[in-house]
Amino acid sequence: MDATPERVADTRCSTGEGPVWHPDERALYWCDIPNGRLFRTTADEAGYELLLDEDDALGGATVEADGALLLFRAAGRVERFDPGEGDPEHVTTVESATHTRFNDVIADPEGRVYAGTMPTDDELGRLYRVESDGDGVSVDVVADGKGFDIPNGMAFTDDLETMYVTESEAHVVYAYDYDRATGDLSNPEPFVETDPDDGVPDGLTIDDDDGLWSARWNGGAVVRYGADGTERDRLSLPARKVSCPVFGGDDLRDVYVTTAGGADRPAEGDGAGALFRFEAPDGVAGRPAFRSSVATE
Ligand SMILES: O=C(O)[C@H](O)[C@@H](O)[C@@H](O)CO
């Protein structure tokens, strides 16, 4: 891909991830997961703000219907945070996830949130669906005879018939039939299978042609696929651990990319842990993300 990534915020995150574009604020939020940090940068201003720096993990965030953020934390906790209102407020706890932390999250067109959790020594990761009433239910649809291990980046096709879910450990992006009325997922089929020598598929986003953009943890790149699942392009970044891409900007033609490994740049690359941005190829843009409605009165 003929694009030069711009280093937007040199935050040296341990695990920079969970980028989310906030169209009302024209701002990008992202997390440093293990350090419980939440950052924000805006389209017009250089630099960035550190909004939260807390003790326990912050896995990801969605934008709520009223513009607040919904934070997915450690120990199954889900919080509402509006930077203009003060500290985060507890909304709900997914009781069967209290042993781990949330990882990648996405809101669906009905305001639900699909939230993956990381595996622990004793349990594999799981995929939950947090309903708008705050009830967290497990949606571990078995794929290839197995459940999830590390559920990761997710995306919906434009026709809302399909939901993609990345399973990092298996190096697969699965395509599920998505039922908008119930939120149920079914009939998983491998859609993209990545080369184990090409790092691990991590965060995911989708463009307005239904092309997938998949981050390569330990692969140092974002890989672009066509709507048919064939690799079309890739952009290398100066960080081995590339964690998640997202479209942002007024016309959703900027691609923001989070990275990890900031504490060990000699091994991880001189941009490890920074936030990068590059312009999407001509004719390509993202689609507005859906908003959650779990903590909106
Ligand atoms: O969130 C993380 O710790 C990483 O992005 C993992 O999800 C990644 O390493 C996949 O195994």
- Pocket of ligand 1 contains residue 117 by CB under 6 Å: no
Q: Name the percent of the chain lying above pLDDT 90.
A: 87
Give CA–CA dist 196/239, Å, rounded.
Answer: 18
Global pTM reads 0.96
Query: pLDDT tier at 297 (50, 70, 90 boundaries)?
Result: low
Question: Which token pair is 201?
Answer: 């598929």
Residue-wise burial string across 35-69, b where 16 or more C-beta atoms lie within 10 A, e elsewhere: bbbbbbbeeeeeebeeebeeeebbbbbbbbbeebb
Residue 145 in this model has a pLDDT that exceeds 80: no
Query: pLDDT tier at 138 (50, 70, 90 boundaries)?
Result: confident
Residue 146 in this model has a pLDDT that exceeds 80: no
- Pocket of ligand 1 contains residue 259 by CB under 6 Å: no
Give CA–CA dist 34/14, Å, rounded.
Answer: 7
101 is in an annotated binding site: yes
pLDDT reported for residue 143? 61
Looking at residues 95-118, what average pLDDT do you find?
Answer: 94
- Pocket of ligand 1 contains residue 200 by CB under 6 Å: yes
Measured in Å, residue 189 CA sits from the centre of ligand 1 at 22
Measured in Å, residue 181 CA sits from the centre of ligand 1 at 30
Residue 144 in this model has a pLDDT that exceeds 80: no
Specify the residue with its C-alpha closest to ligand 1, atom 3: 15
35 is in an annotated binding site: no
Specify the residue with its C-alpha closest to ligand 1, atom 8: 202
Distance of CA 173 to the CA centre of its chain: 14
- Condensed to tens digits (0 to 9), the pLDDT of residues 4-54 reads 899 999 999 999 999 999 999 999 999 999 999 999 999 888 899 999 998
Higher pLDDT, 67 or 95: 67
Let me know: does 114 contact 161? Beta carbons within 8 Å.
no
Measured in Å, residue 297 CA sits from the centre of ligand 1 at 33
Q: Which atom of ligand 1 is nearest to the CA of 118?
A: 7
Residue 142 in this model has a pLDDT that exceeds 70: no
- Condensed to tens digits (0 to 9), the pLDDT of residues 248-269 reads 999 999 999 999 999 999 999 9
Class assignment of domain 6-279? mainly beta
- Pocket of ligand 1 contains residue 57 by CB under 6 Å: no
Measured in Å, residue 218 CA sits from the centre of ligand 1 at 10
Which pairing describes strands 6-9 and 275-279: parallel, antiparallel, or unpaired? antiparallel
Residue 118 in this model has a pLDDT that exceeds 70: yes
Looking at residues 224-234, what average pLDDT do you find?
Answer: 96
Find, among 209, 286, 290, the residue nearest to 253 by Cα. Answer: 286
Let me know: does 259 contact 245? Beta carbons within 8 Å.
no
**79 has which bridge partners?**
71, 90
Looking at residues 106-124, what average pLDDT do you find?
Answer: 95
3-state secondary structure the chain: CCCCCEEEECCCCCEEEEEEEECCCCEEEEEEHHHCEEEEEECCCCCCEEEEECCCCEEEEEEECCCCEEEEEECCEEEEECCCCCCCEEEEECHHHCCCEEEEEEECCCCCEEEEECCCCCCCCCEEEECCCCCEEECCCCECCECCCCEEEEEECCCCCEEEEEECCCCEEEEEEECCCCCCEEEEEEEEECCHHHCEEEEEEEECCCCEEEEEECCCEEEEECCCCCEEEEEECCCCEEEEEEEECCCCCEEEEEEECCCCHHHHCCCCCCEEEEECCCCCCECCCCCECCCCC
pLDDT reported for residue 139? 74
Query: Of the residues 13, 17, 172, which should be mutated to test ligand 1's pocket, given the most ligand atoms within 8 Å of the CB?
Result: 17
Higher pLDDT, 115 or 295: 115
Specify the residue with its C-alpha closest to ligand 1, atom 9: 217
pLDDT reported for residue 141? 64
Q: What is the CA radius of gyration of the chain?
A: 17
As a residue count, the chain comes to 297
Calculate the average pLDDT of the chain: 94
Neighbouring residues of 46: CB distance < 8 A, sequence distance ≥ 6: none
Measured in Å, residue 161 CA sits from the centre of ligand 1 at 27
pLDDT reported for residue 232? 96
- Condensed to tens digits (0 to 9), the pLDDT of residues 151-183 reads 999 999 999 999 999 999 999 999 999 999 999
CA dihedral 192, 193, 199, 201 (to 10 degrees): 40
202 is in an annotated binding site: yes
Higher pLDDT, 271 or 134: 271
- Pocket of ligand 1 contains residue 15 by CB under 6 Å: yes
